[in-house]
Amino acid sequence: MTRRPPRRSWQDRTGAVVVCALGPVLVAVLAVGACSGPTATVTGGVTGGATGGTTGATQSVTGTPGTSPAARPTSARTTRPPRTSPTPPDDRRPPFRASVSRVDAALAARMHASWRPGCPVPLADLRHLRLRYVDFEGRVRDGELVVHADVATGVVQVFERLYDLEFPLRSLRLVDDFGADDEASMAADNTSAFNCRAVTGGTAWSEHSYGRAIDVNPVENPYVSGTYVAPPAGRAFLDRVPGPGVILADDEVVRAFAAQGWSWGGYWTRPVDHQHFSTTNR
């Protein structure tokens, strides 16, 4: 019977227990605290650097050639942590959300600037929409519109499509937040709908007075009549080239509104109202 050499064990600096066979072959203690005979195997916690490294990995360390006639070189092998695929943007973005409600007393008080007795539509015929949208920085926000009850469901579907497209909106607030001042709302690049006011440059009721018109990103999509541009910042977008928030002929935004029976003012010849959508083409 061949007598086996005695075994001794100790802890290396990583806390792993290292077992070495002591025999006629000289035992070499490696820098990591392991030992080598023909081949030494170190098993223990290997901690990485700035990226967190690997925990519980196993490394094979080859001894110095010539320490034993039986020694054979082996390749260093490290168990790597499994890679995880990045989460697609659509999975990080919360689902679209919307609500439709009647104009209650609190909202009616807020709308004191945009609605008054004598407007062509009573408050009872209007609906308050809360809509989720994506802003120009790619952040998800919640905004609001007031539209006619007859078009409320269709408008929700339009804005759900814009959300799916990640078409950005700068702002989605009631025009009352701007004192029902259309010029101020446009200057803020605010997307809005109901506002009991006269048509631009005239005295007849605007389609906004009926809750059947929506202006989208007014700065990127200005109103143009001859040399008059509203808002003034819209002059930077008169060349009508593709860009964030810009609406162009037959694009996905125009199609989303058209699918619900809305027409686009960008198809008009004079004036040309790139921001304007309505159910009556007025």
Same domain membership, residue 98 and residue 52: no
pTM of the entire predicted model = 0.68
Return the minimum-mean-pLDDT range out of 69-78, 88-97, 108-117, 270-279: 69-78
Same domain membership, residue 267 and residue 227: yes
Q: Is residue 1 part of a domain?
A: no
Same domain membership, residue 159 and residue 100: yes
CA distance 1 to 96: 78
User: What total of structural domains would you count in the chain?
Assistant: 2
Same domain membership, residue 107 and residue 57: no
Residue 273, pLDDT score: 98
Same domain membership, residue 195 and residue 101: yes
Mean pLDDT, all residues of the chain: 79
Q: Is residue 149 part of a domain?
A: yes
Q: Which of residues 261 and 63 earns the better pLDDT score?
A: 261
Quick check: 61 and 34 in contact, CB under 8 A? yes
Q: What is the pLDDT of residues 160-214, one digit of tens each?
A: 999 999 999 999 999 999 999 999 999 999 999 999 999 887 889 999 999 999 9
Q: What is the share, in percent, of the chain residues with pLDDT greater than 90?
A: 65
Q: Is the pLDDT of residue 142 over 90?
A: yes
Range of the structural domain that residue 25 is part of:
7-61
Residue 200, pLDDT score: 81
Same domain membership, residue 106 and residue 212: yes
Q: Is the pLDDT of residue 68 over 70?
A: no
Residue 90, pLDDT score: 52
Q: What is the pLDDT of residues 25-34, one digit of tens each?
A: 333 333 334 4
Residue 243, pLDDT score: 98
Residue 206, pLDDT score: 96
Q: Is residue 67 part of a domain?
A: no
Q: Is residue 236 part of a domain?
A: yes
Same domain membership, residue 109 and residue 25: no
Q: Which of residues 50 and 151 earns the better pLDDT score?
A: 151
Same domain membership, residue 158 and residue 241: yes
Geometric angle at alpha carbon 281, from 279 and 282, rounded to 5°:
105
Q: What is the share, in percent, of the chain residues with pLDDT greater than 70?
A: 68
Helix, strand, coil percent values for the chain (each to nearest 5): 20, 25, 55
CA distance 270 to 191: 22
| CB contact set of 260 (below 8 Å; sequence gap of 6+) | 151, 154, 155, 157, 158
Q: What is the pLDDT of residues 217-259, one digit of tens each?
A: 999 999 999 999 999 999 999 999 999 999 999 999 999 999 9
Q: Is residue 237 part of a domain?
A: yes
Q: Is residue 76 part of a domain?
A: no
CA distance 62 to 280: 82
Q: Is residue 98 part of a domain?
A: yes
β-strands 223-225, 272-273: how paired? antiparallel
Same domain membership, residue 107 and residue 31: no
